[in-house]
Amino acid sequence: MDVKLRPAQPEDELLLYAFYASTRAEEMQLLDWSLEQKEAFVHMQFDAQRQHYGIAFPEAEHRIILVDGNPAGRILIAYQEEEIRVVDLVLIQPFRGSGIGTGLLRDVLEDARRADKPVRLHSLKYERARQWYERLGFEKISDQGLYDFLEWRPEKAAKPAEKPYN
């Protein structure tokens, strides 16, 4: 697999919405709402997330993940003075579970190791990705209701293995 990143552009709006909607698909299947209600809700949540990220992390690098030239997801990383924040990482099916996310996150961890900075992120308490974060060396540092705040520290981590792709 050839994995590349490119900057997100304003014309990527529909693509970014599709990535976001893919993260809510299972949840939407559980609701007894019309298709229109579900779509309106997901759009509202997407707009709220985008607005929040823009305010909270205006300097974040927003990248589209391409696999063999095809859009596969997005990654939003804020390289800050005191930390590197993984703001968001989304892969759509069929790219989930393929090692792509692990490779990308290991790249971020290697950046953090070189900069001697922690990597931090929020995780829903019961999301599937939580175990993945823990396998990569993230630990809970605070409880924030539905979310936990996780941290990876270079001094606690073993040197990461090679990327599973390329």
Rounded to whole angstroms, the Cα distance separating 22 from 14 reads 12
Q: Which sign, positive or negative, has the C-alpha torsion 10, 16, 17, 18?
A: positive
Q: What are phi and psi of 39, to 5 degrees?
A: -60, -45
| Per-residue confidence band for 47, with pLDDT thresholds at 50, 70 and 90 | very high
- Give the per-residue pLDDT at 162: 54
Taking only the tens place, the pLDDT of each residue in 48-83 is 999 999 999 999 999 999 999 999 999 999 999 999
Residue from 102, 52, 48 nearest 75 by CA: 102
| Per-residue confidence band for 108, with pLDDT thresholds at 50, 70 and 90 | very high
- Give the per-residue pLDDT at 139: 95
Burial of 62 (0-12, 13-18, 19+ CB in 10 A): buried
Q: What is the pTM (predicted TM-score) of this model?
A: 0.87
Is residue 96 a contact partner of residue 89, using CB atoms and an 8 Å limit? no
Rounded to whole angstroms, the Cα distance separating 3 from 105 reads 13
Q: Go through the domains of the chain in sequence order and give each one's CATH number.
A: 3-156 (3.40.630.30)
pLDDT averaged over every residue in the chain: 92
